[in-house]
Amino acid sequence: MDLFSATNITKQYAAHKALDQVSIQVPEGSIFGLLGPNGAGKTTLIRIINQIITPDTGELMFLGRKLQPKDVETIGYLPEERGLYKKMKVGEQALYLAQLKGLSRPDAEKRLSHWFSKFEIMGWWNRKVEELSKGMQQKVQFIVTVIHQPRLLIFDEPFSGFDPINVNLLKEEILNLKETGSTIIFSTHNMASVEELCDHIALIDNARKILDGNVKAIRDRYATNTFEVQFNTVEKDLRAILPGSFEILESRTDEALQAVRVKLPREAKPNDLLSVMMPHVTIHSLNEIIPGMNDIFIKVVTDKEVST
Amino acid sequence: MRKILLIIQREYLTRVKKRSFIIMTILGPLLMAGIVIVPIYIATSTNEMKQVAVVDETGLFHEKFKDSETIRFHYLETDIHSAKENFGNSKDYALLYIPRTEVALPTNAIIYSGSQVNINVKSYIRNIMSKRIEDMKLEAQLRNLTKEEDSPVNVEDLLRSIRTSVDINTIKIGADGQEEKSYTEVSMVLAIFGAILIYFFIFMFGSQVMRGVIEEKTSRIVEVIVSSVKPFQLMMGKIVGVGLVGLTQFALWVVLTFIIITGVTSTLTGKSIPAESSRQLMEQTTGTFDAGQVINLPAEPTQEEGADEVFAAINSIDFPVMIGSFLFFFLFGYLMYAALFAAIGGAVDSEADTQQFMLPLTAPLILSIVLAQFIVQDPAGPVAFWLSLIPFTSPVVMMIRIPFGVPVYEVAISMALLLAGFLGTTWIASRIYHTGILMYGKKVTYRELWKWIRKR
């Protein structure tokens, strides 16, 4: 079931269209990646989901019904432009932000002490935010995003500005949250993290959604029928053995083994490649080369630019 | 609603706890008390011999005014008209006139003087008059008592029945012989004081709102918060919270100022001021009083001389209108401007960028303060009239006009316009604010603001 869905969202600003008929479906319990180049409209969409701005047209569904103003208490949001009151004490500030999300004061205190001890920042409760290191501020920022145990979590460029240690911590926590039943939307252009974390993605470019679906399905769809074969080195030139329609993309030798990447014609199967090679070489392994999200991202975006 | 209260609470508490707030709260009353105390001190400390001419139509006070170290009395046998005519040519400091009364004992007197009457002179005269009248009352009572010997004597009732307060008006006689009730000066002070207070309040706390908005923008917390509450709630919460800080500071100033003034003047004049009257003075200025109390004040025995003239002036003013409209213009003037200050804060990235928007916003305020001198001279003139209707200038200008008396319907129209102005600017401001707080790194122009306002 979809925890959240947006249908035909359009948002027009005075000069330009920020979103044009964009629809996304976020399955419950999944991690949903919202991808796209800068200025594509990701942040606008995220702000619409958070009800910070309203779309011109389109429908937003949450938990099987229309999105309502009070749903902000079931949504957690870590914006791209984020920060804390510098002059305010850490604990006081966290309590304030937690209460704004609808928690009662005692409840907020209880949960905060849990998170603060988990992240080992309890000793900083009465310090001003400006006295904290950047990394510690980021931890506080993360805590106040998830403190009200939201059903839906939205991270806009969560990894930007975080140091590598906190990036790992954040990834871990995101996976933890998924385990405990939260659904997560995050926008990024860090493709490695997409492959690592996301189950589903939508790719937005120039206000339009140009690609969406299950990550694995997308990668399969963009597979180019390319295989890498490892075998014992031979004197023979492989080009002479393989049929002309088999295209050798890359060939390299690692010590005793030689590896070659071959792109097969559309109708050909990996079996065909093996049967051609087997009489001549000893096969060690065969792997399909599936394009990374990064390649797909670049391919889809540039293809579209070429076609328009 | 719970959330907007949370916001108000945070805005209020973080500011009230600041060191700058505490320092201002202490410095303000010292400054204001200084402004009040210095003239009193100067007035009481001059030891020059003053001659006072007395025209006593009742004849009750003949030879009762004893000369003191600084005051010498002499009695005129002429009637008041010729006394007044001759006053300009005499060397007399003041002319005391006690008009004839038909039935009751005289409790009224008028002091004519070329300048503001020294409060020592006034209190000296008052003391002698009330003592004389009390003596006469006591005499009469005692005569009654000796007639009805069997009735028990209640000393307290007796004392209360003879207690007398004397009402002394001071009238200034100009060099050209023109008479002027001297408490128009008090009205003028009241007018300028009220106007400056509103101007200062709007400026100081309006820009605090603006700085608060800029702080939220530059610290990048604003988007975190507007994912929990509506931007309008955040804006109004801040405006109300800062406004309450202002009211708190104002109330503390009033209380502390009067504590300082009463403390210092009582040591200066060597008299203790009854707690009762200083309490009323405080209450009336904080606006939580019952107007009747102040109007009744002269009937009660007040020994407080410094505030006496102010009381006289205050009595000449329509109090419910004065206090009510002061609070109204004070609050709505602030609310209207604060919304616009918040909009500016939302539109810019840093305080340095606010200049281009601050100038047109503050121009009407500055203009009305600059014109204050002129409006005080002609509080019912066309300039005063129109400026007191325009919402951007009315909070200050109306405060200047009110102590001189303004028809109630004019005040009502001005209030209605200010209310409309407040609703209008808040609506406009909330639109600019909403778009602005989510916009970074862009220098905003007026054209752009106009687009934001018109945006669906």
pLDDT in the model for residue B287: 41
Tell me how far apart the alpha carbons of residues B276 and B278 are, in angstroms, rounded to a whole number. Answer: 6
The rounded mean pLDDT for chain A is 87
Q: Which of B215, B231, B440 sits opposite A81 (nearest CB)?
A: B440
* Tokens 């609703």 found at: B423
Q: DSSP 3-state assignment of B229?
A: coil
**What is the token pair recorded at A44?**
């606008």
**Residue ranges of the domains in chain A?**
2-220, 224-288
The rounded mean pLDDT for chain B is 79
pLDDT at A102 over 60: yes
pLDDT at A219 over 50: yes
Is residue B74 within 8 Å of B115, Cβ to Cβ? no
Report all structural domains of chain B as residue ranges with CATH numbers, in order of start: 2-36+185-454 (no CATH), 49-164 (3.40.190.10)
* Residues B64-81: tens digit of each pLDDT: 888 887 788 888 888 888
Q: DSSP 3-state assignment of B41?
A: helix
Tell me how far apart the alpha carbons of residues A124 and A130 are, in angstroms, rounded to a whole number. Answer: 11
We find that the CATH architecture of domain A2-220 is: 3-Layer(aba) Sandwich (3.40)
Is residue B94 within 8 Å of B71, Cβ to Cβ? no
* Residues B340-392: tens digit of each pLDDT: 999 999 999 888 888 889 999 999 999 998 888 888 878 888 888 999 999 99
Q: Which of B337, B328, B346, B347 is nearest to B414 (CA)?
A: B328
Is residue B195 within 8 Å of B400, Cβ to Cβ? yes
| Partner-chain contact A85 B215, CB within 8 Å | yes
Q: A47 touching B, CB under 8 A?
A: yes
| Partner-chain contact B14 A72, CB within 8 Å | no
pLDDT at A86 over 50: yes
Distance from CA of B249 to the nearest CA of A (A): 21
Is residue A140 within 8 Å of B224, Cβ to Cβ? no
| Partner-chain contact A72 B438, CB within 8 Å | no
**Overall average pLDDT of the B402-428 stretch:** 89
**Overall average pLDDT of the B170-188 stretch:** 65
Q: Which of B223, B455, B456 sits opposite A81 (nearest CB)?
A: B223
Which range has the worst mean pLDDT, B148-152, B320-324, B385-389?
A: B148-152
Q: Is B99 left (phi over 0), alpha (psi -120 to 50) or beta?
A: beta
Question: pLDDT-derived band of residue B211, with 50, 70 and 90 as boundaries?
Answer: very high
The conformation of residue B299, written as its DSSP 8-state character, comes to: G
Q: Which residues contact A74 (CB under 8 A, 6 or more apart)?
A: A62, A63, A148, A150, A151, A152
Q: Which residues of B touch A (CB under 8 A)?
A: 3, 6-7, 10, 14, 215-216, 219-221, 223-231, 438, 440, 451, 455-456
pLDDT at A191 over 60: yes
**Overall average pLDDT of the B4-22 stretch:** 92
| Partner-chain contact A79 B6, CB within 8 Å | no
pLDDT in the model for residue B317: 54
CB-defined contacts A:B, below 8 A: 63
* Residues A121-153: tens digit of each pLDDT: 889 999 999 998 888 888 899 999 999 999 999
pLDDT at B300 over 80: no
pLDDT at B274 over 60: no
What CATH number belongs to A224-288? 3.30.70
Tell me how far apart the alpha carbons of residues B127 and B166 are, in angstroms, rounded to a whole number. Answer: 8
| Partner-chain contact A96 B229, CB within 8 Å | no
Which range has the worst mean pLDDT, B335-344, B425-434, B442-451?
A: B442-451
pLDDT in the model for residue A305: 67
**Global pTM?**
0.74
Q: Which residue of B has its CA nearest to A105?
A: B6
Q: A16 touching B, CB under 8 A?
A: no
Percentage of chain A lying above the pLDDT 90 cut: 39
pLDDT in the model for residue B283: 45
pLDDT in the model for residue A78: 92
**Overall average pLDDT of the A50-78 stretch:** 91
Where is pLDDT greater, at B338 or B72? B338
Q: Is A39 left (phi over 0), alpha (psi -120 to 50) or beta?
A: left
